[in-house]
Structure 1
Amino acid sequence: MVARINTVAFAGVDVVKVDVQVQMASGLPAFSVVGLPDKAVAESRDRVRAALTAMGLSLPPKRIVVNLAPADLSKEGSHFDLPIALGLLVAMNVLPGDEMLEYSVLGELALDGRIMPVSGVLAAALDASARSLGLICPQEQGGEAAWAEAIEILAPQSLLSLINHFKGAQVLSAPEPAINSSDNQDLDLRDIKGQNAAKRALEVAAAGGHNLLMVGPPGAGKSMLVQRLPGILPPLEPAEALEISLIHSVAGTLEGGELLRRRPFRDPHHSASLPALAGGGLKAKPGEISLAHLGVLFLDELPEFGRATLEALRQPLETGRVAIARANAHVTYPARVQLVAAMNPCRCGYFGDPSAACGRTPRCAADYQAKISGPLYDRMDIYMDVPAVKMQDLSLPPPSEGSEAVAQRVAGARRTQRERYAGQHEEKRPRSNAEVDGKLLEEVATPDSEGQQLLLQAAERLRLTGRGYHRVLRVARTLADLDGSAELRRPHIAEALSYRRLPPGREL
């Protein structure tokens, strides 16, 4: 007799069905796990044996073989503990085999029989729903799994409570969907005095989901401005919350099994490696750019990041996904982010300030800014110079307009964009103006005659690439949305052009 239990493996955010097969046969006592298990899966033998011993059960003196099919798929992670344990219990006639086949199972076992949290429960729950199966998962992640519709979820605290449920000695109640209820207050734009032009650029970036680069001396308030960006971004749609939480579930960063309700804001240190930022490593885990999906990726001190690390962002910024190819894995993660970066104009930080003259100007600034390649520079929708704050501004009272008023205008512009693109195919539907491309961009962002004339003149003078030309149109479309205008007029084009700069080394 061969006992079978349904479980899953993960290839990025995709789920692969795995069949756990357990056979007990006569022969010398042995316990082996086959089917390309990694170290964590191979060690499950000792955890499973200890968990059964903690309940007063012992494995029979037989030759036990656990096969994880398909055998040519590499198996990673500790979530195979619980499926293997249940397969053994079915083979020992402790649990009914037919009933267990109605569930997909994942969970790690502690030595005392408790079921510990694992990564990927939300993805496994959605897969179980698609296959018309129930789900057995750790108790702490029952609220995460409950977001999958129309499936039976068992979230036991221990292996013993799960056995008692199937024996009829205990009833496990269905978990309720859990959502992150954190009410941390966002930092307010009212805290920043002066920098009105930078605040305007931040509002435009939030309204259209545009990439933003801020350049200014130390202490000008670049980081303070960006840290207040989450407070003016539009709230997540339910489908977006599920999409983001799915990535964090696979990455193992979904705390307490609660779905995220706030847009991600990731700000890795400039010492971050290429795999940390783009994704990869031994198990091809999602990087910062995927963890920031549908949110903000903030790179402070941009030129201090490694050149190869920054260049790895170029393709994901265009395609909205990152493909990780390794010898043992080839996975794709979503990576549709709003890139926001900040940098000093030169290494000392005071280029252009007559009161802090540098003996190496302008070569110092040119060499420092040249660390950012032209193609990456071209992918920035908005370039904003952030000057030093004047002492007179610091002595003024706080501005009357805060993040709440700006967030209302941003939400209105985003609402206009949703209505405009509602008729597009779901898979290709833009979420914001920053994602509009091709023929659709020509339909929704055609300037009037005066605006078109200005754009053509500026395109030649600024030597805009085709990508830069389209990015000007996208920003202008956002400016029109903020104004409540259906037409793209000359003022919208003019302001959008004011946010463009030539890359270093391409002076007029």
Structure 2
Amino acid sequence: MPARITTVAFEGAEARRVEAEVVLTKGPVAFSVVGLGDKAVAESRERVRGAFAGVGLSLPGGKRIVANLSPADLPKEGTHFDLPIALAMMIVMGILPEDALNEYVVLGELKLDGSIAPVAGALPAAIAASSYGMGLICPFDNGPEAAWAGDVKILAPRSIIALINHFKGHFVLEPPVRGKRAEPHKAMDLKEVKGQEVPKRALEIAAAGGHNLLFVGPPGSGKSMLAQRLPGILPSMSNLELLETSQIWSMAGLIARGELTNERPFRAPHHSASMAALTGGGVRAKPGEMSLAHNGVLFLDELPEFSPQALDSLRQPLETNEIVVARANHHIKYPARVQLVAAMNPCKCGHGGVGRGSCGKAPRCLKDYQGRVSGPLMDRIDLQIDVPAVTAMDMALPAPAEGSDEVRLRVESARQLQAERAHRLDLAPGNALNATAHGSGLEQICNLDPTAKTLLTQAAQQTGLSARGWTRTLRLARTIADLEQSGSVLRRHVAEALVYRRTGPFNEDSPAGFAQAPVHASSRL
């Protein structure tokens, strides 16, 4: 009879149940591992053979050993199948009782001395085990991470000898202690930013509603400085968000010593990053930067310098909040609910068409450079802000009286208002933030004043605002109203939202080369 051990295969951020079966049969002496595994899975037979030799055990002689990972049509990747195969082998050999491991999900990589090496994905594996009503056996170094899953019986041995002794009653393994909460990093403060009142206002609005944001300005104007201070005004993650994000980081092997943090992720990939690096993929389809920034911020500095293919791969995830990595034989999904913040110079020279150091090739240089970012991607960015150069007068001023702490209080108040409204209107949890509201839920939360609706309609007709642009303008206006604790979206809220949306045509006289806001939107307040 074959021995069976329950383990998991990772498909995106999810753990799928897999049975590791081992049987001894007649035939040519061999050790085969089947079940649609990758190269790392195929090599597990040598690691198991070496680990057995390292602890003084030998494989059954004169027998053909077959290890099967069922279901056989599910692709398997990684080294964490070593331990379940080895334990199933021990059951077949009579070293462990047949029913000893019936209540456990097992994963771990074996070293040649019999010790168990850490693997990626311990937290989602523990959550999956909990959903099966089972415990988890994982490497010692993964124990503090797996313990975050809650009420799950966890064994975290250092070696297979320690595990054998536990089940034989010679030694009892203590359950691992949950990892500590990582100390939050000292956030950069908005008090360090002098001048730039409009960009700081836009940053606050973006934080309050979770909106995508683009800063456009010459070098040294403070675009990256502003973006790096966004985490300092964002509220901490909820417990559900913490669990979602930590599962992805666990899959990527980025959780050290089992320490989790409530800080929202802030990922800032270099502009040389490929499409696979941003969205996920590669041989083993690991999560990309966009998924690692789930529930946090993805900052793209020097936006036009990214490859057009990489940028356009973000368009669909920004709408659906998930990434689908397609393969010939299967599809992998990763969550990707991110706030996109980007920065760019107005042209290749950096200074645009007017002012000191202006580009002599304007407006053609501006159009060519900005044309590297596709229109559909720009349409998904709610706030597009000109960041002018900081003057000597600004630098001579004392630090601003208001910093990140004061702004964060207003942001938290606005987000609390959105959460209460979503609960009152029975909206889906993913529809709570203004930036993600859609359909009938968006109509319920907006409550447009008649004059505000008239202004938005006129602006849409005169500037050719797309349907997506209409929706995103409504979301932005709702956030501006929330910062004022206003129940209705008024005319001035829509007017300010239109200014940030920059719905007009290209204008070479703009310092950044982008269109100025519609005149009628601000002149009729």
The alpha-carbon deviation at position 253 of structure 1 amounts to 2.2
Provide closer, same or farther for how the CA distance between residues 300 and 101 of structure 1 changes in structure 2, counting only shifts above 3 A. same
CA contact (8 A) 2:214 2:341 kept: yes
The alpha-carbon deviation at position 252 of structure 1 amounts to 2.2
Specify the alignment match of 1:63 in structure 2: 64
Gap runs ≥5 in structure 1: none
- For residues 179 and 353 of structure 1, the distance between their equivalents in structure 2, rounded to whole angstroms, comes to 53
How many pairs are equivalent?
508
The alpha-carbon deviation at position 188 of structure 1 amounts to 0.8
- For residues 451 and 180 of structure 1, the distance between their equivalents in structure 2, rounded to whole angstroms, comes to 46
Cα deviation 1:225-266 (Å, max 9, x = unaligned): 001111111110001100111111222222223334211111
Specify the alignment match of 1:21 in structure 2: 21
- For residues 163 and 43 of structure 1, the distance between their equivalents in structure 2, rounded to whole angstroms, comes to 23
CA contact (8 A) 2:22 2:65 kept: yes
The alpha-carbon deviation at position 60 of structure 1 amounts to 2.2
Pairing of 1:66-465 with structure 2 (within 5 A)? 66-423=67-424, 427=428, 429-465=430-466
Gap runs ≥5 in structure 2: 508-514, 519-525
Identify the range of structure 1 (77-86 vs 15-24) with the bigger mean alpha-carbon deviation.
15-24
The alpha-carbon deviation at position 4 of structure 1 amounts to 1.1
TM-score (normalizing by structure 1): 0.96
Provide closer, same or farther for how the CA distance between residues 504 and 461 of structure 1 changes in structure 2, counting only shifts above 3 A. closer
Pair 1:35-2:35 in alignment? yes
- For residues 327 and 156 of structure 2, the distance between their equivalents in structure 1, rounded to whole angstroms, comes to 35
Letter of the 1:468 partner, please give it.
Answer: G
CA contact (8 A) 1:462 1:501 kept: no
Provide closer, same or farther for how the CA distance between residues 195 and 315 of structure 1 changes in structure 2, counting only shifts above 3 A. same
The alpha-carbon deviation at position 505 of structure 1 amounts to 5.1
The alpha-carbon deviation at position 447 of structure 1 amounts to 2.1
CA contact (8 A) 2:178 2:258 kept: no
Specify the alignment match of 1:3 in structure 2: 3
Provide closer, same or farther for how the CA distance between residues 225 and 9 of structure 1 changes in structure 2, counting only shifts above 3 A. same
CA contact (8 A) 1:54 1:112 kept: yes
Specify the alignment match of 1:44 in structure 2: 44
Query: What SS is found at the alignment partner of 1:339?
Result: strand
- For residues 69 and 49 of structure 1, the distance between their equivalents in structure 2, rounded to whole angstroms, comes to 21
The alpha-carbon deviation at position 26 of structure 1 amounts to 4.6
Letter of the 2:79 partner, please give it.
Answer: S
The alpha-carbon deviation at position 200 of structure 1 amounts to 0.6
Specify the alignment match of 2:523 in structure 1: none
- For residues 426 and 106 of structure 1, the distance between their equivalents in structure 2, rounded to whole angstroms, comes to 38
CA contact (8 A) 2:209 2:435 kept: yes
Letter of the 1:53 partner, please give it.
Answer: A
Query: What SS is found at the alignment partner of 1:340?
Result: strand
Letter of the 2:451 partner, please give it.
Answer: E
The alpha-carbon deviation at position 460 of structure 1 amounts to 2.1
Identify the range of structure 1 (442-451 vs 238-247) with the bigger mean alpha-carbon deviation.
442-451
Letter of the 2:15 partner, please give it.
Answer: V
- For residues 251 and 21 of structure 1, the distance between their equivalents in structure 2, rounded to whole angstroms, comes to 27
The alpha-carbon deviation at position 482 of structure 1 amounts to 0.8
- For residues 303 and 249 of structure 1, the distance between their equivalents in structure 2, rounded to whole angstroms, comes to 31
- For residues 334 and 242 of structure 2, the distance between their equivalents in structure 1, rounded to whole angstroms, comes to 16
The alpha-carbon deviation at position 427 of structure 1 amounts to 4.8
- For residues 427 and 354 of structure 2, the distance between their equivalents in structure 1, rounded to whole angstroms, comes to 50
Provide closer, same or farther for how the CA distance between residues 425 and 116 of structure 1 changes in structure 2, counting only shifts above 3 A. farther
- For residues 226 and 316 of structure 1, the distance between their equivalents in structure 2, rounded to whole angstroms, comes to 21
Query: What SS is found at the alignment partner of 2:20?
Result: strand
CA contact (8 A) 1:475 1:496 kept: yes
CA contact (8 A) 1:32 1:64 kept: yes
The alpha-carbon deviation at position 426 of structure 1 amounts to 7.0
Specify the alignment match of 1:54 in structure 2: 54
The alpha-carbon deviation at position 207 of structure 1 amounts to 0.4
The alpha-carbon deviation at position 182 of structure 1 amounts to 2.5
The alpha-carbon deviation at position 15 of structure 1 amounts to 2.1
Letter of the 1:364 partner, please give it.
Answer: C
Over aligned residues, Cα RMSD in angstroms?
A: 1.7
Percent identity at matched positions? Answer: 57
- For residues 289 and 247 of structure 1, the distance between their equivalents in structure 2, rounded to whole angstroms, comes to 11
Letter of the 1:436 partner, please give it.
Answer: A
Query: What SS is found at the alignment partner of 1:414?
Result: helix
Identify the range of structure 1 (240-249 vs 280-289) with the bigger mean alpha-carbon deviation.
280-289
The alpha-carbon deviation at position 162 of structure 1 amounts to 1.1
- For residues 101 and 429 of structure 2, the distance between their equivalents in structure 1, rounded to whole angstroms, comes to 40
CA contact (8 A) 1:188 1:402 kept: yes
The alpha-carbon deviation at position 183 of structure 1 amounts to 2.9
